[in-house]
Structure 1
Amino acid sequence: MTSSSLAGAGLLIIWGSISPTKVDEPAFNDWWTNEHLPERLALPGFLRCRRFIDPATSPTAAPESKYLVWYEVDDPKALVSPQYMEKLDNPTPRTAQFMPLLATLQRCACRVHASQVRPEFTPSGARGAVVGASIAHVVFTPPLDKDTCLDGLAVRLMELFAHATVLAFHVVEQDEETTRAGSQTRSYAGVSPSFQRSGVKCMVLVEFSESIVSPPGQREAVKSMMVDWAAVAGSTDIEGTIYGLICAVGR
């Protein structure tokens, strides 16, 4: 499966939550979108960034707002480059201000195991050109036979293109050493006690053409199928969330 809509072969995926009663959420979003994303895109190998929010955890629906960001890089090695590690060890004042305010935080540097864009977009060169308006994010601990699990999931995920709103899917696996290297830097000092510094995780990300304000039926059905498939494949600690796109910026 090489007809990918991703811009590169690696992903950094970070997700977590803030309490709007304790954090200035507009200032938090201004920092992440208008300072942090451009700073990362200026680094070697960083090609595109996307930010998402789970509307089910917005201030009007829950006491915490839940966000996800992913960074597409040309190779997972970009996530341990000297330039990136220097930024992590020397966070900007606003990065040092906001990172410890996250109530929960997870971070995974990942290799792309399989990625497929909707057949209608191939072979016309859709790499990096497709951006979903919403996503389903399913994270899990794989069984010992990880590769067989992920290969099986990738085959099953091809069935999702029967749903008209599914644009692409990506199966990714955590690079634990690369994750740990970045997570032990000064940028993550003093962050949430929930912060994951180690432990292998795998993920499936499905991109939808529909915005998050559209009826959720199809997205929820797809998420439920993905959770069931991961369980059948022997995975554990399975969590699934639907997010809506805030912004996508690239070089």
Structure 2
Amino acid sequence: MASIMSESVNSSFPSLMITNHPYYPLEVEIASYLANEWSMQVLLATFTAVCASILFATLFIVNRRHPNLPSSEKAAIWWFVLSGAIHLFFEGYFSINHTRMGPAQDLFGQLWKEYALSDSRYLTSDPFVLCMETVTAFTWGPLCFVVAAFITTSHALRHPLQIIVCVGQMYGLILYYATSMFDHYYKEISYSRPEFLYFWVYYFSVNFIWMIFPGILLVKSVRTIAQAFNTLEELNLKNGSANGSVKKNK
């Protein structure tokens, strides 16, 4: 009888519908949702520890095998290794497991549910988010490791490939922000909870890191390639002048 009355109330007053999750919009359906077993503090501390381990391991290997690399190049390697690991393993996890995120209780599953408080699309197999994360995981992820390796060997393709990866990361982030903001302002659908932590820290600031570092590296690569072409042009002009002088002397 109580369930019948509840259904009647919900059908008459949909705005009062009770949901069993904390995500926005409140009426969104999340299949088989289970609350996280670990607290936010434990999840974030664990994720931070994993990232720190990756950075320190990269630092140790680079300093041991390539001690003479400039600090800026070492920093670029650290960034690409960490970024590649997050793309390939963390975002790749979402791409493969997107249909069962709601009840997931492993580390990555709970981390995604924590992050989804800032963007519930990660719990509903949203087509854009799924496609964007799949490309990011299995294209930019492996290529990040390739760029990191190219930096250590001063490979000729390092800067062209670095430009491709950085533009891809930044373009994906712009579309990620744009699609969410479009729904927010034009459809009045908010995917993020309104608290400062979820919108400004999780949604905006954490993601904006992939605008800052790729932007810096993109500018560096463009300048390096431009300088290389300028140098080549100057050499060609000098060689042309030299050849002209030789012909006149003859």
What's the TM-score once normalised by structure 2's chain length?
A: 0.24
Higher relative contact order (CA 8 A, sep 6+): 1
More helix by share: 2
What TM-score comes out, normalization by structure 1 length? Answer: 0.24
In terms of fraction of residues, the more strand-rich structure is 1
Quick check: which has more Rg, 1 or 2? 2
